Amino acid sequence: MKLYVCMMAMMHLGNKGALTRGKDVGKAIEMPNYFYIIEHKDGICLVDAGVECTANETPVPEGDPISVLKKLGHEPRDVRYVILTHMHIDHTFYMSRFPDSVFIIRKSELKMAWWHDKNEGGYCYEHYKDTRDFKYIQLPDDVDFDVFGDGSVVLTDTRGHSAGHQSVLLHLPEYGRIMLTGDAASLEDNLRFMLVPGTCTSIGKAEESLQKIQHFEDIGYELFFSHEATQKLRLFPDFYE
């Protein structure tokens, strides 16, 4: 089993406070956009589906999911599962390129993305408008889901930032335990200062999710934050196994 951490782009945000409620409001920040590829003996997983690179993003050359998969010798049809931590605009751009995959997402997140509340920000219908008839496993909010049935890739509820946010728990044979936090903790500051994201469906649930992430760190999981520029990661083509 291998985990590839892939940086697709560097994102330019004029207000860090949009990620750290009440701290560093108005401070500009440069932050990476990551997606992840898991090679498991029973299939390939893509975790999150990238961002559309506009004037606010500096792309990594050939750093998109399709190009990275090709470098690994795979085509989109080879991806068995696409796991979405959530469906905000910077995690969904390449969804429509995986019509043969099974998407694993919380049912509440899928419903919110397709028919989000008037004041619920973060979603871009154009990214996934052609995926309505794709294959989905729609998970309830309050369950852990063992993707391969062997404890190596487990999805756990971390809602609050969005209606059905989930994080990914990995057990790698040699490296050990990793948690892909998604945007439940985009930055290390979210966890260290217990700052909920600036965008929240539920502040209370977001606080509970931060406490849950802290617990996993306390029991030995290494945390990979979804937009943290300062963390030292083995980036593609390097990998964890």
For 230-241, give the DSSP string. Answer: SS---BTTS-B-
**19: in domain:** yes
User: Is 154 among the domain residues?
Assistant: yes
Of residues 182, 155, 192, 186, the one with CA closest to residue 170: 155
For residues 232 and 221, give the distance between their C-alpha atoms in angstroms, rounded to a whole number: 15
Q: Is the pLDDT of residue 23 over 90?
A: no
Over residues 163-170, mean pLDDT: 98
Within-domain flag for 24: yes
4: nearest Cα among 170, 134, 219, 147: 170
Distance CA 198, CA 35 (A): 21
Q: Express as a percent the part of the chain with pLDDT over 90.
A: 89
Per-residue pLDDT, 74: 98
What's this model's pTM, rounded to 2 decimal places? Answer: 0.96
Please tell me the predicted confidence (pLDDT) of residue 84: 98
Residue 16 resides in a domain: yes
Lowest mean pLDDT among 20-29, 60-69, 88-97, 151-160: 20-29
Mean pLDDT, all residues of the chain:
96
Residue type, 42: D
Q: Tell me if 234 is assigned to some domain.
A: no
Determine the pLDDT at residue 140: 97
Q: Which pLDDT value is given to residue 24?
A: 83
Indicate whether 211 pLDDT > 90: yes
- Tell me whether residue 230 is in a domain: no
Q: Is residue 184 part of a domain?
A: yes
**Contact between 209 and 159 (Cβ < 8 Å):** yes
Task: Please provide the size of the chain in residues.
Answer: 241
Largest interatomic CA distance in the chain? 46
pLDDT of residue 18: 83
Question: Does residue 233 lie in a domain region?
Answer: no
Report residue 29 as tokens: 């920040």
Mean pLDDT of 30-47: 97
The neighbour count for residue 194, using CB atoms within 10 Å, is 12
Q: Please, which residues have CB within 8 angstroms of residue 8's CB and are 6 or more apart in sequence?
A: 33, 34, 35, 50, 51, 53, 59, 60, 63, 64, 65
Q: Which DSSP state fits 196? A: P
Say which CATH number the domain at 181 has: 3.60.15.10
- pLDDT in the model for residue 22: 84
Residue 15 has pLDDT above 90, yes or no: no
**pLDDT average, residue stretch 150-162:** 97
- What is the mean predicted confidence (pLDDT) over 45-56? 94
How many domains does the structure of the chain reveal? 1
Reported as a single tens digit per residue, the pLDDT across 171-197 is 999 999 999 999 999 999 999 999 999
pLDDT in tens, 76-117: 999 999 999 999 999 999 999 999 999 999 999 999 999 988
Residue ranges making up the domain that contains 96 = 2-225
Strand order in the sheet with 29-40: 57-59, 2-13, 29-40, 43-47, 79-83, 102-106, 135-139
For residues 63-74, give the mean pLDDT.
98
CA torsion through residues 116, 118, 121, 123, sign = positive
pLDDT of residue 71 exceeding 80, the answer is yes
pLDDT of residue 121: 81
- Residue 117, pLDDT score: 83
> Per-residue confidence at 66, pLDDT binned at 50, 70, 90?
very high
